[in-house]
Structure 1
Amino acid sequence: MERWRIPLHSPVVRALLLAPPILIGMILTFVVTSGLVFVRSDPELALRFDAHNSQALERVAMALAVKGTPGSARMAERLAVRSLLESPMSGEGASALGFARSILTPARDESSTFKYSAQITRRDVETQMWLVEHYVALGDIAKALETYDHIFRISDEYRAKLLPILLQA
């Protein structure tokens, strides 16, 4: 009894061998691209597509930290740590971690976390404002004014909002 054989160089065999890697590549491209597309508009949806997207992790962590409840702060801390593991140079991730930990343990000094965030990115206004309050509480007016200067350089909008407050103080 003779077997029916398909030559390995036939178009059918080539198509069957190439289809799985091409399909996997298309799926991965779709998942990663979808995660990047939704990171600003819907970071939770972006995390469903790509659970390792550091920008989505830090945005969701910051949104949870801002809620101010211990449960949301614990979740924000976990997400911020994951964000920093994915992208250690993420100033926003460090800032979210600082906010979450300051809610969980108010007596603990989180200034090193916020200073790390400020070293990475000076354009994060929440971090800069936290540092202003921190320096004012310490009585370090020179550092507070320097931090205000960083905020004023971010946008004229912040200068218009914060300069009258600074002049009254």
Structure 2
Amino acid sequence: MSKRLRAPQKASEPVRANRPRAVSELLPAVGGAAFRRFGFVQSSVVSRWPEIVGEKLARACAPESIRFPMGQKQDGTLTLTVRGAHAVMIQHILPDIVERVNRFFGYPAVARVQIRQGEVAGAAAPRRAPPGLRAMPAEMGEGLKTIADPELRAVLESLAAGVAATRALPKVS
């Protein structure tokens, strides 16, 4: 009888689990590889961006990539995609964004920020006026019918309907 010798298992190889697994167990590993390929060390920067910079800023900008100097994991360059006219506003608050991202990482991961203008995925579409503003009480419409300019009349009718529909103090934001 000859004895077979087993090859010793390497410690770095994952132990196989012959059981069904939930997709959520597999996704962090799959998503992590894709994010690292495109410049993200942590995918949570993308998924938790509204928590890092706030809901209002997250609607205006989104992280695109973080590039680090060769062989380092700090003092990187964060590339942000910013919606059109918001670029100037974002440029003024870049020190705050850098501070928040570095606080999220726990070390000075980002030293510079590049801004690229473009469409931000998940940004809210412009809101349309509610249908209640189009209806106007009859007593307000009589005085506006004498205005000859149709564009001015439409704006004033919309303003009058908004004032009539408001019961509380106006909200200034």
TM-score by length of 2: 0.30
Larger radius of gyration: 2
Greater length-normalized contact order (CA 8 Å, ≥ 6 residues apart): 2
Select the structure that is richer in strand: 2
Pick the structure with more helix per residue: 1
Tell me the TM-score normalised to structure 1 length.
0.31
